[in-house]
Structure 1
Amino acid sequence: MQLDPGAVVEGRVTRVTDFGAFVQFENGETGLVHISQIAHSFVRNIHDHVREGENVEVKVLGRDERGRLDLSIKELLEEPEEIPRPRAIGRQSPQFEAKLRSFMRDAKERGGGGGGGGKKGPATSKRKK
């Protein structure tokens, strides 16, 4: 079995993670189909597309610097005429922006500003030596 870049081969999904699916081939070698290589559309939940134990056809994209196989299912799927693009967010209403500023100011005062610049509460202002 040739696992050279461009080869199309069938393998069995041995493990599914949040970032991709591991596929094992007849020769015992395993490769990864990264979540971005599952489908042309955005994949929110990989479990909606592949399942452990399922046989899948994949295209070998190549090997990474460690020699691990990079695989794709998406490369074998017909590309849709138009890929849905995320809708651009336009300028928000002044009321929304005022509420957001108020929320952010309140969060900083409670110590949940997340990144400095805000007031420090009494628990963080004194250091023990």
Structure 2
Amino acid sequence: MSIEVGSKLQGKVTGITNFGAFVELPGGSTGLVHISEVADNYVKDINEFLKVGDEVEVKVLNVESDGKIGLSIRKAKDNPPPERRPQKKGPRGGNNRPQRAVSFEDKMNRFLKDSEERLASLKRNTESKRGGKSSKRG
């Protein structure tokens, strides 16, 4: 049986390591479910989710030329929850309006301007505390 990327298969957990679980697939081949592909939430200890001998449904993520098969349990679920990023709040607490893309040069120019202003302010404050450049000690 050929294993194709994107297909869902039933498998049996044959081994567990600290980085994932080995799953035997139909046809005798074995693939790895990385610990990040076990559940939708953070998995600290894979043993809390899987045991050797468990029957699991997996989705084939990749098949490498050297025969290694990458699998996912969380992507094999029918309706995985959509991944959402938390919206950033503006300085006044509301959502920011969509902003235009800022180029790298614009960001760099803003950084240089801010940096020069901070250095000038710092110099002004430290020189006044030391007596300035023009004061000479005798």
TM range (shorter): 0.5 to 0.7
Going from structure 1 to structure 2, the CA distance change for 1:27 and 1:42 (only over 3 Å counts) comes to same
Matched residue, 1:61: 61
- Greater C-alpha Rg: 2
Going from structure 1 to structure 2, the CA distance change for 1:61 and 1:81 (only over 3 Å counts) comes to closer
Q: Structure 1 CA distance, aligned partners of 2:27 and 2:82?
A: 37
Matched residue, 2:45: 45
Contact 1:41–1:84, Cα closer than 8 Å, also in 2:
no
Gaps of 5+ in 2: 87-138
CA RMSD of aligned residues (A): 2.0
Q: CA deviation at 1:25?
A: 1.7
Q: CA deviation at 1:81?
A: 5.8
> TM-score under structure 1 normalisation?
0.59
Aligned AA for 1:74? R
Matched residue, 2:36: 36
Q: CA deviation at 1:55?
A: 0.8
Matched residue, 1:6: 6
Q: CA deviation at 1:3?
A: 1.2
Going from structure 1 to structure 2, the CA distance change for 1:6 and 1:25 (only over 3 Å counts) comes to same
Q: Structure 2 CA distance, aligned partners of 1:84 and 1:22?
A: 31
Q: CA deviation at 1:67?
A: 2.3
Gaps of 5+ in 1: 86-129
**Percent of residue pairs identical:** 41
> TM-score under structure 2 normalisation?
0.55
Going from structure 1 to structure 2, the CA distance change for 1:6 and 1:82 (only over 3 Å counts) comes to closer
Figure out how many residues of one structure are paired with residues of the other and give that number. Answer: 85
Q: CA deviation at 1:76?
A: 2.0
Q: Structure 1 CA distance, aligned partners of 2:82 and 2:4?
A: 29
Query: What is the SS of the residue equivalent to 1:59?
Result: strand
Q: 1:1-129 counterparts in 2 under 5 A?
A: 1-77=1-77, 78-80=79-81
